[in-house]
Chains A and B, each alone.
Chain A
Amino acid sequence: MLYSAFRLLATIALEVFFRRIEVEGLDRVPAQGAVLLLPNHTNSLVDPLVLVTAIDRRLTVTAKHVLRQNPLLRALFWALGVVVVHRRQDVDKGADPRQNVEALARLGAILDAGGAVCLFPEGVSHSGPALRPFHSGAARLAVAFAQRHGPSKALSVVPVGLHYTDKDTFRSSVWLRCGEPVDASRWLADHPGADARALTQDIYDRVRAITLNYDSRRESAVLGMAAELVVTAGAMPAPLGRDEPEVAAWFRLLARLQEGYRQLSHEAPDAVQALVQRIGRYRAALRRAGILPAEVFLSMHPGRVALFVLREFELLVVGAPLAGWGTLHHAAPYLATRAAARALSTDEDHWATNTVYPGVVIFLVWYLAVLTLAWWLMPPAWAALYSALLPYTGYYALLYRERAGSALRRTRTFLRFLTKPSLQRDLASEGRAIIDSIGRLAARLDSPHEVTP
């Protein structure tokens, strides 16, 4: 009951925080029987939230001991049956790693009973460009389970990849990807003499295979810039409200670019470096001009412009009362949540956590107060109408604000191009030239015999 209520709240909170949540390979998580989910860990307490809401079965998650110092989180952990682990690096904060024996025993018992457990084998949430080495706790749990039950009872070890487009940005997107599960006892049978360390390495490789891992932050930045350009295809952007590419497609594009980038960095380093510098200069020019890569190819055709004006003006006018009402009634908790996130966050790892968790509390309290007042002061029919409109207009105001912002931005860019056509001509020509260069390099990859200098 408590878990279901929390899951519902978390689902609402994540739907508000993220613009898109995409889940792939959910069928790889068995609906019944023991399951051990092992994701990468890059977004602190939001990672387990994404998993709890996506996986359609009760999930026992683990959390570091120091989080229990927060009384609200302590109550939440108690209500949800979170298993606390003690990390060595937290000993000075009161952690006692000896108690992990008991924690592992609890997790083992949950798996024995056919439950689902989520462990973060990296042991820490981080913003590093690549997966960190895994701790062996998860593998030891799996090996112990297999030794206890043998082939008679399966334990599915599922590698999970969590990808965030901009984890410290409100209304960014997330892609959860479940990899091919491994049956622990079968794996041990297939690898005679292998121990928990070998299984840890195997799981690490599987998680690595379904996540994006960069050599450096620079590589991540370069590929991100290239992907932003490639995704435009040098063509006119889609109308607003219809320009949401799949998150999975974005990360797949990044992975393809990375593959090519790495291979060509060895085979044609000069060409790649020249292209990287060119992309860097182009992005800098776009930033200076305050223009998004896709907007460079904005159509200046009068018919298209008329359609844009009709579409956006209609929404702007008809939606204004709803958006205004929603903004008026949610501005206070929204600003309070933002202030809390700013005050609590010291790094990008925790910004989303410090927005989502306090946000849930702040909005709950706000709703409780406002609705109590409404039912106290208004006749029942009006109070019911007000209660129905409150969350509706709140969500509407959020979408309206985004849309109005995008429309304003596109209008500004259009007017800049209208007054200075050469700016669009130059940017579009350079953008397409870069995309063509990337295409030519990709073609070299497709024909390896031609790569010789």
Chain B
Amino acid sequence: MLARIHPADRAVWLILAIAVLVCLARVPGGAAEVWSSLLVHAALLAGFTAYVAFAATSQSRWIAQAARPAVTVGVVFTLYTTLGHLGLAAMPPADAALSWVDAHLLGLHPVALERLQTPLLVEAFAVPYALFIPYIYLSAALGTLGRPPVERDAFLTGWMLTYATSYLGYVFLPAQGPIAFHAADYVSALHGGAFHDLVVRGVASTGGFFGAFPSLHVGSSLYLCVFDLRTNRLRGLTYFPIVVSIYGATLVLRYHYVIDLVAGTVIALLCVRTGPALVRRWMRARMAHGLTPLPGEDAHAVLGLPSAGDDRT
């Protein structure tokens, strides 16, 4: 049975299971929020398990081409908010430790950047920070539609693994970032323009400040960029400057410590390598169990569209 389960599904299932276990461990004497978090994550785990069971036995190409990307990405994006809140409710905050690492090991106290945070610079960096959202949605679409099956599966597995690994930080090292932790230390609040307002509203709409460590803005966008550089060089080169700007933006906008960026970078680079390796291993395991390397007869087709090689005009 295990050989039938896609590695991307396994990664997402595992982080959901960890979330439920953390909730269960913290429920006795825990905050009310842990209870609601348990309900949410248990429901997500149950639903996702049902999907995994169905996907593992289905031979439909829609699973690989549409259902898996939609379900895994949907669940993982939901976890972005829920796990951030769970971490803060269930674990002691790690902001002091992260800030100490920045100041003492990396030599950069977060508040020291304040002199650079002019309205012009804040607004300039708010643009790439805001571009992160359309970038990941476009990448999700282009990364799963029209890609050769093995490459698509490697892309999805590595990306989901980037999120799943980063979420361990959200849960076990919960942090709100310098903007909340050092709020009293800054002389003045950030001021920018329309783009900065957009970013502020966006952050507020997802529940405020949480999940600072590691930086998924950096991790996710770097993963997408490096994967593109390997498979679609022009797209990778197109977004590379934006990804580099996102590094700066996370610091200038006070959302992250430098150590968050370092961790995000390491996770992304590891996952770019691990994703394809896991898919290859999964395909070998399937073959060892007498299955085809990829499920479904028409795993090469794309969303009901004719694929390269079978289109007869």
Are A403 and B305 neighbours in the complex by a CB distance under 8 Å?
no
Query: What is the total number of residues of chain B having a CB less than 8 Å from a CB of chain A?
Result: 24
Are B306 and A315 neighbours in the complex by a CB distance under 8 Å?
no
CB-CB nearest in chain B for A395: B237
- What per-residue 1/0 map shows which CB atoms of A300-322 lie under 8 Å from chain B? 11011001001100110011001
The yes or no answer to B25 lying at the interface (CB within 8 A) is no
Are A235 and B309 neighbours in the complex by a CB distance under 8 Å?
yes
Partner of A315, one of B231, B234, B305, B308: B234
Contacts of A319 in B (CB 8 A): 234, 238
CA A237 to CA B313, docked complex, whole Å: 12
Q: Assuming A297-B313, A307-B145, A314-B142, is B308 touching A237 (CB within 8 A)?
A: yes
Contacts of B309 in A (CB 8 A): 233, 235-236
Are B311 and A235 neighbours in the complex by a CB distance under 8 Å?
yes
Are B313 and A303 neighbours in the complex by a CB distance under 8 Å?
no
Contacts of B235 in A (CB 8 A): 241, 314-315
The yes or no answer to B296 lying at the interface (CB within 8 A) is no
Contacts of A307 in B (CB 8 A): 145-146, 305
Are A310 and B141 neighbours in the complex by a CB distance under 8 Å?
yes
CA A400 to CA B237, docked complex, whole Å: 10
Are B233 and A242 neighbours in the complex by a CB distance under 8 Å?
no
CA A237 to CA B146, docked complex, whole Å: 12
Are B237 and A399 neighbours in the complex by a CB distance under 8 Å?
yes
Query: What is the total number of residues of chain A having a CB less than 8 Å from a CB of chain B?
Result: 33
Contacts of B141 in A (CB 8 A): 310
Contacts of A318 in B (CB 8 A): 238-239
Chain A's nearest CB lies how many Å from the CB of B289?
31
Contacts of A310 in B (CB 8 A): 138, 141-142
The yes or no answer to A62 lying at the interface (CB within 8 A) is no
CB-CB nearest in chain B for A389: B241
Q: Assuming A304-B305, A310-B141, A310-B142, is B238 touching A315 (CB within 8 A)?
A: yes
Contacts of B237 in A (CB 8 A): 322, 392, 395-396, 399
CB-CB nearest in chain A for B239: A318
CA A260 to CA B141, docked complex, whole Å: 44
Contacts of A239 in B (CB 8 A): 146
Partner of A300, one of B234, B238, B241, B313: B313
Chain A's nearest CB lies how many Å from the CB of B272?
18
Are A322 and B238 neighbours in the complex by a CB distance under 8 Å?
yes
CA A242 to CA B231, docked complex, whole Å: 8
Contacts of B239 in A (CB 8 A): 318
Are B146 and A301 neighbours in the complex by a CB distance under 8 Å?
no
CA A399 to CA B229, docked complex, whole Å: 13
Chain A's nearest CB lies how many Å from the CB of B180?
29
For chain A, what secondary structure do more than half of its interface residues adopt (helix, strand, loop), or is it mixed? Answer: helix
CB-CB nearest in chain B for A396: B237
CB-CB nearest in chain B for A403: B234
Are A399 and B146 neighbours in the complex by a CB distance under 8 Å?
no
Contacts of A400 in B (CB 8 A): 234
Are A428 and B313 neighbours in the complex by a CB distance under 8 Å?
yes
The yes or no answer to B285 lying at the interface (CB within 8 A) is no
CB-CB nearest in chain B for A316: B238
The yes or no answer to B290 lying at the interface (CB within 8 A) is no
Chain B's nearest CB lies how many Å from the CB of A173?
15
CA A399 to CA B237, docked complex, whole Å: 10
Are B311 and A399 neighbours in the complex by a CB distance under 8 Å?
no
CA A298 to CA B308, docked complex, whole Å: 10
CA A396 to CA B242, docked complex, whole Å: 14
Q: Which of B187-236 contact A (CB under 8 A)?
A: 231-235
Contacts of B145 in A (CB 8 A): 307
Are A299 and B306 neighbours in the complex by a CB distance under 8 Å?
yes
CA A24 to CA B145, docked complex, whole Å: 33
Contacts of B138 in A (CB 8 A): 310, 314
Contacts of B142 in A (CB 8 A): 310-311, 314
The yes or no answer to A11 lying at the interface (CB within 8 A) is no
Are B313 and A299 neighbours in the complex by a CB distance under 8 Å?
yes
CB-CB nearest in chain A for B232: A241
Q: Which of B231-258 contact A (CB under 8 A)?
A: 231-235, 237-239, 241
The yes or no answer to A12 lying at the interface (CB within 8 A) is no
Partner of A311, one of B146, B231, B310, B311: B146
Are B238 and A236 neighbours in the complex by a CB distance under 8 Å?
no
- What per-residue 1/0 map shows which CB atoms of A242-256 lie under 8 Å from chain B? 100000000000000
CB-CB nearest in chain A for B309: A235
Are A399 and B308 neighbours in the complex by a CB distance under 8 Å?
no
Partner of A241, one of B234, B303, B310: B234
Q: Which of B257-313 contact A (CB under 8 A)?
A: 303-311, 313
Are A399 and B313 neighbours in the complex by a CB distance under 8 Å?
no
CA A319 to CA B240, docked complex, whole Å: 11
The yes or no answer to A425 lying at the interface (CB within 8 A) is yes
Contacts of A311 in B (CB 8 A): 142, 146
Chain B's nearest CB lies how many Å from the CB of A189?
47
CA A7 to CA B47, docked complex, whole Å: 58
Partner of A236, one of B233, B304, B311: B311
Are B233 and A322 neighbours in the complex by a CB distance under 8 Å?
no
10 A–B contact pairs at CB < 8 A? A236-B309, A236-B310, A307-B146, A314-B138, A315-B234, A318-B238, A392-B237, A396-B234, A399-B233, A425-B313
Question: What 8 pairs between A and B have smallest CB-CB spacing?
Answer: A236-B311, A303-B305, A235-B309, A319-B238, A428-B313, A299-B311, A399-B234, A307-B146
A311-B142, A314-B138, A319-B238 given; 20 more Cβ-contact pairs under 8 Å: A235-B310, A235-B311, A236-B307, A237-B308, A239-B146, A241-B234, A242-B231, A299-B305, A299-B313, A301-B311, A304-B306, A318-B239, A322-B241, A392-B241, A396-B238, A399-B233, A399-B234, A400-B234, A403-B234, A425-B313
